[in-house]
Structure 1
């Protein structure tokens, strides 16, 4: 009998071990689904909230808040639930349904926004407040369902309190690994091949598989809850004897999440300077961030059940993260200076990878591995150790997991908001990293002091001395290193840098004395050759229209385009600019070519996303101008989609014109074909223009509902106006003959030229995700 009982016990143990392995595989898939959903929701919210930092921040913050609330709520009940796998399967099923219904819910909310914006003439700020509130409520449901799964499964995989850090930490690492894989696939594969909605359905299908697999496993491995076995020798750590330790641990959990997400946002902002604001760059940063957390969590889970004081090791990892954060900008600058001045492994890789598109996608990953992997590992190490440290205080596995995960994630919510909307605008990137780094360093030192039980001399002298020395070294790092990096990148003297909520804006003086305005790594405007595009957009559409009264332009730049437009005697001139910092810097440094102090009286400035404004407003215009420089960045690409062109066509008055410039230098032919083809799909009549008198890197597409008929007499009459003459000199346009000489062709001409193309749309954002790196120059387009 005893032999049979032992055999049955071994069989149950082996069965449970198999169940844990299978659950880990399922949770890996669940992590991939969660990140894919987050990527898709971020793109959908940008269509509703506009392509602003607010849209990204709302997704990240609400995603984290939902995870936190779900974990805290489930943590209260996980220890008492009988059939955990069955409940987990139901939660995954509900999360799938909520994720699939999200696009329909956002469309319904969009109708509310349009009604509110039109009927109440709401300010952009009031509209944003409504959009944020509604979007947060919609996202909260699926994210709470996702967050409730970790305490539930954490309670399933371990019934022993002294193993919670090891086993739940390992489960967390597996989930994060799935998230890293999901992020990489969503950013580089799925959206390119299946579109945004197709990617959502792929994630939903995988989530259904996860729910079905968990339900099936519950039939064999879903054992009833057992009493938690307490960890040995924890009496000295109970709150009644050491309440200070409870508060310090809670503060550390919260600060860990805050600092981790804060650093991630800073990395995103800083990497734009050398690499550009492209989608695959952001995907690389996020993937490495998640992968580093995976490695760190795996290390931490092994340490959690081997060290005597996990809280001390948590403090050490926290302090190391603080040091790496405080010295991030010196390392960032040193890395890119090294690459500029010496042969490197990156150069060797670039030579070894012969496929240009593969190199284009993988190079950001190499940079991210070099800059972000070690601090990401330090972030990941802390979570399993924090779990084990808290388990020595609160003796319940499910509640331990819920509290640690919940408080840590709430810290991430606050970190995303504080870093994006307070620290960076007020302190800039370099000082923000210093503040976060010092906070981590000192809190890590506090953890060590409170929980360390070794030799007293080492505690009293060694740890504080190390923290103080590291802090002094970080504080004495030159405060202008990030500014110097900008100067190295932009190739000129930096007059001023303004880091705002939406963009980093710099004014550069080039060696020839010309001023340039640089926005997130791209020189968008200036008083040199950029005047060709600025004056073209300020004059060409009005001259071609012949009787324009209401004009809308997207993008302020240095302000010369609005100045040129204002000279034509318009009744209404609206300018939509997403970043107030751009307008402020333009008025300060480019007053000699913009309206200066007359701007407020002659132009209605609207600080919001241009695509979002055009979608929401009921105003109609004679001319709509799309002044977007680089069509493939994450910020500008939405202005070249089929949906945006359709909205512009609907907002045109009879005889109205929509004009957009298209970059020709350094971009593949497939981009031009996609934009041209999409443009011609939407606009019944299209003409293409090129400024032969002042050639620059742009051609201009003009679309309309009616046939485009141009009157030389009206053009000459407009050019004869004194105010127009004073601000068109750079283009050398003196007559209608000069203007009409810019004509290249119409729709029928370019339909033969482009042949097959891939349309660019919100669902299939081809030019944003296209890795074709066969870049051409102007002669390749116009030989």
Structure 2
């Protein structure tokens, strides 16, 4: 920009810098709004995909409309529209909790919609803020004329916005939410939007007063280069669609892989998104530097880096697979993958939470950002069409991303499997090799050798059975059972004396059921304490141990079990088939059971049905969305859905969960230090009465089928009984709430 007056250089620097905060705020909203809307939709992966798709759809429309609008506005009006967009986002954010949580979830929880109508509802709810977010980039790209190379300026705007989004993701999950909760974090983001809008408005008024004093000629355009390369705009539309499709598909696959290897932390998504966006931002910035240094050969560079992108994705997968399988010094890592729980090792945490994600994602996403800068530098050759081109390309990119998200989730995970889906996506690289050859931009030998290399890599990427076996730390295929679908990866690792159920790499429970006495008693204690438990509801299936434990009384006429992992019953049936341990089969085929593959909290809230016993299977507090089952609001929901003398139960591994439970139920009892039982009236824990119920012929036969000596285990559990509260609610502010799930985010 040496031939641009200092005032214009300062203008571009100011706009580029201020757009950082807009990107920061946008990701605060995405992280938190996604969480709030999941209360209404339920937390199944399909519903989360609906939320993300609705978010992206609004952005896409905003890009498209903003592009056409920016080309038609008189110079100087762009600032006013950008100001209105930023302030509009901020104002909407201030009322978003009332709309998304208070009105949609609390007041209208019984409102049931099919997938199509649910998507349309989410789209309309998110349309205003996401539309305004999308509008802002095209408006800002033409807010000031004569600021230099327009393609580079747009790329720098994209760079700072993406960098702000990356940092916003990390700060939201590791600081804002832990320190102040969801609602206050939203207020911080809204303040940033107001700051962006007002700053640009004030600066724009100053810029307008000095604009007429400048005698600046537009820089030469890239038109000569574009004509020389003979690249039609239609090519870029197709390219941006493909880029969006593959980028989001890769992101979803990487998330599934890393979530399994990391053992499903609540902050896994934030870590992945930060690396993804951060690498893309760096790539965009270095792309601008490349554009300044090189004035020709950019299409050739663009196409070549695309081939590198897909080649690297394949190569990184092959290296990861072969390294875990064959390198002896990685044995501790393989052992961690195989293990039931997290290992408190700094090296292992760094490896799974940083090194592996960076190794898999940083180069491809860097290339995505680098490619954006190069393409914009080629495309933006006419100031009068800047908005239209930018808006159209971003819209089509969002359309590709939406299609890619549905492809990866509904076809990839559900039908093809992770490995085959990945291979099909990698084959896209052959398209760019073909274009390079067709355009005669490289020697004929290069596409031949690269095609052979890429084909070999695709063949070396392991099949889904081998892939998940290695990533799960297993050696023998016969001892590894898994099923993946759009909801999660469910698996069972068969051991010599004990087998373990895993969800996304994290151990949940054990087989045979007799060895996992805590889960059995988690279900059995309330069922045998209650005098007549006709209807029992349990959130979570797992190994079916808690469900089995709760089902041993002849009084029980109905069992309702909710499970969001749709493939979980299939894994249990396969385990029964391989091991001949029929306990899971028996309970899954119990005529009293109503197994619902959906979000339990959502279904309980929307139903009028009352229960004698309600509980959730043991869920680790730090797992994603675990706060939904450990909040004061959740425990209050359980209380409202209990019959007179009804019992609510929770696993309470932290003091905060215990406080939250005690803030709702006046009568609270503790067994085995972490099994908490609550009721609105005193419970009868007469030892003789409870143990005598195990002598019923039905009960004896029921537990005998699983070789469980339930009476002895119950006797031992009753020995640990403590009365925590006796008719008085606990007054303690240190609790988990829907707006501040402190334990999930490991607040101390």
Find the counterpart in structure 1 of residue 484 from structure 2: 499
Shift of 1:585: 1.7
Shift of 1:297: 0.6
Structure 2: distance between partners of 1:678 and 1:258: 43
Q: Which of 22, 31, 37 matches 1:30?
A: 22
Q: Secondary structure of 2:482's partner?
A: strand
Moved more, 495-504 or 552-561: 552-561
Does the Cα contact within 8 Å between 1:712 and 1:737 map onto a contact in 2? no
Matches within 5 A, 1:189-588: 189-222=175-208, 230-233=221-224, 236=227, 245-304=232-291, 306-333=294-321, 341=329, 364-391=353-380, 396-439=385-428, 441-450=429-438, 452=439, 454=441, 458=443, 460-479=444-463, 480-488=465-473, 494-512=479-497, 514-528=498-512, 531-569=516-554, 570-588=556-574
Structure 1: distance between partners of 2:468 and 2:284: 35
Identify if the C-alpha distance between structure 1 residues 740 and 33 changes in structure 2 by more than 3 Å, giving closer, same or farther: closer
Q: Secondary structure of 2:373's partner?
A: helix
What do residues 365-421 of structure 1 show as CA deviations (whole Å, max 9, x unaligned)?
344333322222112111122223333699722222112222112211211221122
1:601 aligns with 2:596: no
Find the counterpart in structure 1 of residue 338 from structure 2: none
Shift of 1:11: 12
What do residues 436-491 of structure 1 show as CA deviations (whole Å, max 9, x unaligned)?
2222x1232244345x4546xx1x44224412431233223332542232441699
1:770 aligns with 2:746: yes
Structure 2: distance between partners of 1:567 and 1:718: 10
Identify if the C-alpha distance between structure 1 residues 59 and 713 changes in structure 2 by more than 3 Å, giving closer, same or farther: same
Identify if the C-alpha distance between structure 1 residues 11 and 472 changes in structure 2 by more than 3 Å, giving closer, same or farther: closer
Structure 1: distance between partners of 2:305 and 2:697: 69
Q: Secondary structure of 2:564's partner?
A: coil
Find the counterpart in structure 2 of residue 19 from structure 1: 11
Q: Secondary structure of 1:296's partner?
A: helix
Does the Cα contact within 8 Å between 2:58 and 2:134 map onto a contact in 1? yes
Matches within 5 A, 1:165-180: 165-180=151-166
Structure 2: distance between partners of 1:52 and 1:609: 7
Shift of 1:197: 0.2
Moved more, 277-286 or 22-31: 277-286
Identify if the C-alpha distance between structure 1 residues 339 and 301 changes in structure 2 by more than 3 Å, giving closer, same or farther: farther
Find the counterpart in structure 1 of residue 671 from structure 2: 689
Structure 2: distance between partners of 1:80 and 1:17: 25
Structure 2: distance between partners of 1:335 and 1:290: 27
Structure 2: distance between partners of 1:467 and 1:643: 57
Q: Secondary structure of 1:580's partner?
A: coil
Structure 2: distance between partners of 1:466 and 1:357: 39
Does the Cα contact within 8 Å between 1:329 and 1:482 map onto a contact in 2? no
Does the Cα contact within 8 Å between 1:576 and 1:607 map onto a contact in 2? yes
Does the Cα contact within 8 Å between 1:576 and 1:610 map onto a contact in 2? yes
Structure 2: distance between partners of 1:644 and 1:235: 59
Structure 2: distance between partners of 1:230 and 1:737: 81
Does the Cα contact within 8 Å between 2:40 and 2:105 map onto a contact in 1? yes
Identify if the C-alpha distance between structure 1 residues 332 and 472 changes in structure 2 by more than 3 Å, giving closer, same or farther: closer
Does the Cα contact within 8 Å between 2:318 and 2:460 map onto a contact in 1? no
Find the counterpart in structure 2 of residue 667 from structure 1: none
Find the counterpart in structure 2 of residue 40 from structure 1: 32
Q: Secondary structure of 2:646's partner?
A: strand
Q: Which of 726, 731, 741 matches 2:701?
A: 726
Find the counterpart in structure 2 of residue 668 from structure 1: none
Structure 2: distance between partners of 1:740 and 1:150: 62
Identify if the C-alpha distance between structure 1 residues 417 and 138 changes in structure 2 by more than 3 Å, giving closer, same or farther: same
Identify if the C-alpha distance between structure 1 residues 28 and 151 changes in structure 2 by more than 3 Å, giving closer, same or farther: same
Does the Cα contact within 8 Å between 2:283 and 2:366 map onto a contact in 1? yes
Q: Secondary structure of 1:648's partner?
A: helix
Identify if the C-alpha distance between structure 1 residues 226 and 93 changes in structure 2 by more than 3 Å, giving closer, same or farther: farther
**Unpaired stretches in structure 2, ≥5 consecutive residues:** 334-343
Q: Secondary structure of 1:516's partner?
A: strand
Identify if the C-alpha distance between structure 1 residues 718 and 595 changes in structure 2 by more than 3 Å, giving closer, same or farther: farther
Q: Secondary structure of 2:675's partner?
A: strand
Structure 1: distance between partners of 2:457 and 2:36: 44
What do residues 136-177 of structure 1 show as CA deviations (whole Å, max 9, x unaligned)?
2111211111011111212235658x9333221111111111
Structure 2: distance between partners of 1:737 and 1:573: 21
Find the counterpart in structure 2 of residue 760 from structure 1: 736
Equivalent pairs, count: 721
Structure 1: distance between partners of 2:384 and 2:432: 24
Does the Cα contact within 8 Å between 2:635 and 2:664 map onto a contact in 1? yes
Find the counterpart in structure 1 of residue 675 from structure 2: 700
Find the counterpart in structure 1 of residue 720 from structure 2: 743
Structure 1: distance between partners of 2:634 and 2:319: 41
1:617 aligns with 2:607: yes
Shift of 1:128: 4.9
Q: Secondary structure of 1:682's partner?
A: coil
What do residues 600-644 of structure 1 show as CA deviations (whole Å, max 9, x unaligned)?
732111111122122222211000121133222014332111111
Does the Cα contact within 8 Å between 1:493 and 1:508 map onto a contact in 2? no
Structure 2: distance between partners of 1:191 and 1:646: 23
Structure 1: distance between partners of 2:170 and 2:413: 27
Structure 2: distance between partners of 1:297 and 1:11: 23
Identify if the C-alpha distance between structure 1 residues 304 and 415 changes in structure 2 by more than 3 Å, giving closer, same or farther: farther
Does the Cα contact within 8 Å between 2:313 and 2:360 map onto a contact in 1? no
Does the Cα contact within 8 Å between 2:323 and 2:330 map onto a contact in 1? no
Shift of 1:657: 0.5
Moved more, 491-500 or 201-210: 491-500
Shift of 1:725: 1.3
Shift of 1:113: 4.5
Does the Cα contact within 8 Å between 2:553 and 2:699 map onto a contact in 1? yes
Question: Scaled by the length of structure 1, what TM-score is found?
Answer: 0.84
What do residues 663-715 of structure 1 show as CA deviations (whole Å, max 9, x unaligned)?
5xxxxxxxx1111111111111111112xxxxxxx831111111112344542
Does the Cα contact within 8 Å between 1:716 and 1:736 map onto a contact in 2? no
Identify if the C-alpha distance between structure 1 residues 303 and 407 changes in structure 2 by more than 3 Å, giving closer, same or farther: farther
Q: Secondary structure of 1:109's partner?
A: helix
Find the counterpart in structure 1 of residue 103 from structure 2: 108
Structure 2: distance between partners of 1:362 and 1:187: 20
Identify if the C-alpha distance between structure 1 residues 342 and 328 changes in structure 2 by more than 3 Å, giving closer, same or farther: closer
What do residues 538-578 of structure 1 show as CA deviations (whole Å, max 9, x unaligned)?
32111101211111011112334434444423222111111
Q: Secondary structure of 2:609's partner?
A: coil
Identify if the C-alpha distance between structure 1 residues 704 and 159 changes in structure 2 by more than 3 Å, giving closer, same or farther: same
Identify if the C-alpha distance between structure 1 residues 335 and 705 changes in structure 2 by more than 3 Å, giving closer, same or farther: farther
Matches within 5 A, 1:35-74: 35-74=27-66
Shift of 1:210: 0.8
1:147 aligns with 2:134: yes
Question: Scaled by the length of structure 2, what TM-score is found?
Answer: 0.88
**Unpaired stretches in structure 1, ≥5 consecutive residues:** 1-9, 118-125, 346-354, 664-671, 691-697, 773-783
